[in-house]
Structure 1
Amino acid sequence: MEKLESGAGFSPRRFTWEEIGLRTGRGHPQQERWLVIDRKVYDISQFYRRHPGGARVISSYAGQDATDPFQAFHIDKGLVRKYMSSLQIGELALDQPSCEPTKNKLLVEDFRELHTTVEGMGLLNPNHLFFFLLLLHILMLDVAGWFVLWYFGTSLVPFLISTVLLTISQSQAGFLQHDLGHLSVFSSTKWNHLVHEFVMSHLKGLSAQWWTLHHSQHHAKPNCFHKDPDIAMHPSLFALGKILSVELGMKKKKFMPYNHQHKYFFVTMPLLVVPVFQLYSLYFIFQRKLWRELAWTLTYFIRFFLFFEPLLGVTGVLGFLLLVLESILFTWISQLNHIPMHIDYDNNMDWFSTQLQATCNVDQSLFNDWLTGHLNFQIEHHLFPRMPRHNYWKVTPLVKSLCAKHGIEYQSKPLLTGFGDILGMQDICELGLDDAR
């Protein structure tokens, strides 16, 4: 496919949505991948593997309109468009709408207007003092966890207090690295990446780049099979969503008794999270030769052993490193906004509908905001992934108004109800399996 040429009087090639929809990288003879951003058509067939945000993120929109995710993920959009100019092969035909005909054109336009309003209100601008205080309280919790054991000894009560302090510290560090990974803390992409490495690799012992690539895929197509890695669990253990459960039931797959997963999910899943993440993160670091991240990660383990081995011994430190309580807290908080929601294949819905279908909120309170790292505002976070968390509450009324205008349910629930709904979804999966038999 020839790239777009420039020159006086040049008329760009014009395409229809039908033509673009065939270029998904699957089934087409040339395996071409096209996408649309602001009515411009780009051929990413050769570029997608070099995409800085990950090949799977950009290719998940092949054959589709990527205008809204482009707006959501990039800070310096002008610079990105400059580099993308060589990929442009044409534009939408003049008689073609600005989004696919299958989408709600009015909703798409209203959300894009809302995004412009949010930018104009300065809600994408971070408060550096807020994030500095967050980092400070994480470091204080971390030191306090060690101090309790050093000063009071390793008897049961000091050990439990120390474990709780370190669990909270690790959890809060996880939320801060999440902010940095979404480029929400600094106006500069470079500074977000540098501090992200410190928080993720030194404070948590995990790869920042691995997390960013993985998590960006989740945001691009949340709760979509084959596109969201957060639901890419092997059905021998878990079957998420009624649709997959029905499919497995119809195929009569002879795996483990996943039809009883509602009985073991809440115990098994949390115990797997940290060990699996830790091992895969190290594999990712070596595979990609991320030596700076490796150095930061080694400082995490060295610091932990130097501080706690004299108090707990080698065996105690190894057990403590797993931080089972942190695994449980992370798993439940990260899943309560998504697991109970609709899980399906990619139906190419508009950005607003995609995020509202896959996410729900937990009611606001000072405790809920702090415990969840403001991810109780999951709807707002998914609609505006670069928005600093301290501004979520400001955009909530605007999002609710848009939902009401278009008859879309805005779900918010108490914290304990959200935890209960995770188990309730496992029961729904059980019913789906039963229905298919």
Structure 2
Amino acid sequence: MPPNVTSELILDDSKGPKTFRRADIVKSLDHGQNQTDYSVDEPWYVVIDNKVYDVRDFARDHPGGAVILTHVGKDGTDAFSNFHPESAYEILANFYVGDIAAHDMITTKKGFTTELRDIKQQFKELGYFKSSKAYYTFKVLTNLSILAITLSILFRYGGTLSGVLLSSFFMGAFWQQCGWLSHDFLHHQVFEQRIWNNVMGHFLGAICLGFSPSWWKDKHNTHHASPNVHGQDPDISTHPILTWSEYALSDLFASDDAATPTIYSPEVSRFLVKYQPLLYFPILHFARISWCIQSLLFVLPGWKKIKENDPRMPVTPVEFIGLVVHHVWYFVTLYLFVPKTWLALTFYFTSQAMGGLLIALVFALNHNGMKILTMEESHKMDFFAQQVVTGRDVIASNPSFQWCIDWFCGGLNYQIEHHLFPTMPRHHFHKVQPSIQLLCEKYNIPYHRTTFIKGTQEVLYRLGQVSDASWKLA
């Protein structure tokens, strides 16, 4: 229903709950999109199972951060059930304000959504949402062994360039695998008790990797709720460093003195966009440094005050301490094992660049180069269908080496399955993938699988399309 539709709120004659038209819900959409504008005393309605909830007063305290804003003015039934445990429904009840009118209720007919809900229940009964603790113990220990190899090489050969470069590669691989493991734990895929998932997520994410779990959750949760939605998904809001759609170009090339919405001058921004296919791989090398800086800013108390009106993940002192511990052990390692200053600087920049490249290569394959939706398009699209059409699965060109892709990508090569079932442990994805692909084909929903190399080519092709558009606008 278009946002400009208006209608009057229908009140029950009794003292019971209010009854709402769909149009009343849509009117709150604009207020939710403003995100930090609490000065406007208007409700922020979300519909779940045809019940209406006003989340305005809860938004700043939402444990999941700003993701709650992505479904203001919309039906959030499947999004809510996908991201929350059963206990969350008790909290949700505190913000209940009424029901959708009977003639306006959403009654899902037999189709993709209902079949997917049914198949999800079948997967639960088959135990596919239960993790193998032995599997994750093995994954954590083998990853720590990569760190041990790194330190051993530095201990013996830290005074040589070859030793420093080799250990930098292993350090980058260690950080990459820490990213995938912390991702699993922070999605609560491993333990039934969320506190233990958070403990492991903080250990692997903050102490080992140097990324703030709260910063990551705040960004990643919103990405899951609105993948590839222009103006909502933070993972494609990288303009002008990398620009993924023509939507972001209008302000930049409107006129010679057009104000750019970035910290860069218009000239620098335009240069980056024009040549982004050539700059893609060099830029990825700086991704880890950028993410570390963003993590530190997110947990700093002063930064929190600047963002005091922004719904965001809560940050505890433990997280700040974890990031400090990460940088302490990293720089102490340099001090103890790399005696020469120029070699220490080489290790620092090479390990950071390798870590950024290994993480970002996989990260970009997940969704970049796939369909980008406007907010209007996403409002009209089924939640589960949106997860499918914006994602890309990655397979090995030779099935014998699928295990290499699974290891290198950390299970994120099953990106479509992960977005449909974010709490499913990665070691079950290969079991459910054929069923999901068949279901999508049944309902003519585009389901994309490709190899690592071809997927990277698709990413570069999309960057080239936007670059060509920027040349024409210039």
* TM-score of the aligned structures, taking structure 1 as reference length: 0.89
State the distance in 2 between where 1:126 and 1:239 align. Answer: 37
AA aligned to 1:284 is F
1:105 Cα deviation after fit? 7.0
Of residues 112-121 and 176-185 in structure 1, the stretch that sits farther from structure 2 once superposed is 112-121
Equivalent of 1:259 in 274, 277, 286:
274
Distance 1:316 1:185, change over 3 A: farther
Corresponding residue SS for 2:71 = coil
Q: What are the residue-to-residue correspondences of 1:151-230 with 2, within 5 Å? A: 151-230=156-235
AA aligned to 2:230 is F
State the distance in 1 between where 2:332 and 2:287 align. Answer: 25
Conservation of the 8 A alpha-carbon contact between 1:25 and 1:31: no
Paired residue for 1:72?
82
State the distance in 2 between where 1:306 and 1:48 align. Answer: 41
Corresponding residue SS for 2:46 = strand
How many residue pairs are counted as aligned between the two chains?
A: 421
Corresponding residue SS for 2:98 = strand
Distance 1:25 1:105, change over 3 A: farther
1:61 aligns with 2:71: yes
Conservation of the 8 A alpha-carbon contact between 2:239 and 2:248: no
State the distance in 1 between where 2:74 and 2:346 align. Answer: 47
Q: What are the residue-to-residue correspondences of 1:282-301 with 2, within 5 Å? A: 282-287=296-301, 290-301=316-327
Paired residue for 1:337?
366
Conservation of the 8 A alpha-carbon contact between 1:360 and 1:411: yes
Q: 4+ runs of 1 displaced by more than 6 Å? A: none
Paired residue for 1:6?
none
Of residues 87-96 and 388-397 in structure 1, the stretch that sits farther from structure 2 once superposed is 87-96
Conservation of the 8 A alpha-carbon contact between 2:154 and 2:338: no
State the distance in 1 between where 2:73 and 2:440 align. Answer: 27
1:233 Cα deviation after fit? 2.0
Conservation of the 8 A alpha-carbon contact between 1:241 and 1:344: no
Equivalent of 1:377 in 414, 438, 443:
414
Of residues 109-118 and 404-413 in structure 1, the stretch that sits farther from structure 2 once superposed is 109-118
1:272 Cα deviation after fit? 3.0
Q: What are the residue-to-residue correspondences of 1:301-380 with 2, within 5 Å? A: 301-313=327-339, 316-317=343-344, 319-322=346-349, 323-346=352-375, 347=377, 348=379, 349-364=381-396, 365-380=402-417
Q: Let me know the Cα RMSD of the aligned residues.
A: 2.4
AA aligned to 1:377 is Y
1:297 Cα deviation after fit? 2.0
Corresponding residue SS for 1:413 = strand
Corresponding residue SS for 1:386 = coil
AA aligned to 1:421 is E
Deviation track 1:145-167 (CA, whole Å, cap 9, x = no partner) reads 11012224532333332222211
State the distance in 1 between where 2:115 and 2:280 align. Answer: 40
State the distance in 1 between where 2:246 and 2:125 align. Answer: 41
Distance 1:385 1:24, change over 3 A: same
Deviation track 1:263-285 (CA, whole Å, cap 9, x = no partner) reads 212212x1331222112211222
AA aligned to 1:263 is L
1:38 aligns with 2:46: no
State the distance in 2 between where 1:13 and 1:112 align. Answer: 29
Deviation track 1:143-199 (CA, whole Å, cap 9, x = no partner) reads 111101222453233333222221111110110011111111111111111111111
Paired residue for 2:236?
231
1:47 aligns with 2:58: yes
Paired residue for 1:143?
148
Paired residue for 2:122?
117
Conservation of the 8 A alpha-carbon contact between 2:158 and 2:338: no
State the distance in 2 between where 1:315 and 1:105 align. Answer: 65
1:209 Cα deviation after fit? 1.2
1:108 aligns with 2:113: yes
State the distance in 2 between where 1:129 and 1:251 align. Answer: 59
Q: What are the residue-to-residue correspondences of 1:266-277 with 2, within 5 Å? A: 266-268=281-283, 270-277=284-291
Conservation of the 8 A alpha-carbon contact between 1:285 and 1:294: yes
Segments of structure 1 that go 5 or more residues without pairing to the other structure are 1-8
Paired residue for 1:90?
98
State the distance in 2 between where 1:17 and 1:355 align. Answer: 24
Conservation of the 8 A alpha-carbon contact between 1:146 and 1:308: no
Distance 1:90 1:315, change over 3 A: farther
1:129 aligns with 2:134: yes
State the distance in 2 between where 1:62 and 1:251 align. Answer: 34
Distance 1:105 1:46, change over 3 A: farther
Corresponding residue SS for 2:371 = coil
Corresponding residue SS for 2:63 = coil
Deviation track 1:83-109 (CA, whole Å, cap 9, x = no partner) reads 111211112222234269xxx873322
State the distance in 2 between where 1:96 and 1:116 align. Answer: 27
Segments of structure 2 that go 5 or more residues without pairing to the other structure are 1-13, 35-39, 259-265, 305-314, 397-401
1:330 Cα deviation after fit? 1.0
AA aligned to 1:87 is F
Paired residue for 2:455?
418
Distance 1:318 1:232, change over 3 A: same
AA aligned to 2:385 is S
State the distance in 1 between where 2:21 and 2:255 align. Answer: 38
1:118 Cα deviation after fit? 2.4
State the distance in 2 between where 1:125 and 1:89 align. Answer: 35
1:412 Cα deviation after fit? 0.6
Conservation of the 8 A alpha-carbon contact between 1:204 and 1:300: yes
Deviation track 1:391-427 (CA, whole Å, cap 9, x = no partner) reads 1111112211210111012111111111222211111
Deviation track 1:292-315 (CA, whole Å, cap 9, x = no partner) reads 122222222222233332332456
AA aligned to 2:367 is H
Conservation of the 8 A alpha-carbon contact between 1:126 and 1:187: no
1:281 aligns with 2:295: yes
1:247 Cα deviation after fit? 7.0
Paired residue for 1:390?
427
Paired residue for 2:6?
none
User: Percent identity at matched positions?
Assistant: 27
Deviation track 1:56-91 (CA, whole Å, cap 9, x = no partner) reads 2011100111111111111x32x2111111211112
1:316 Cα deviation after fit? 4.1
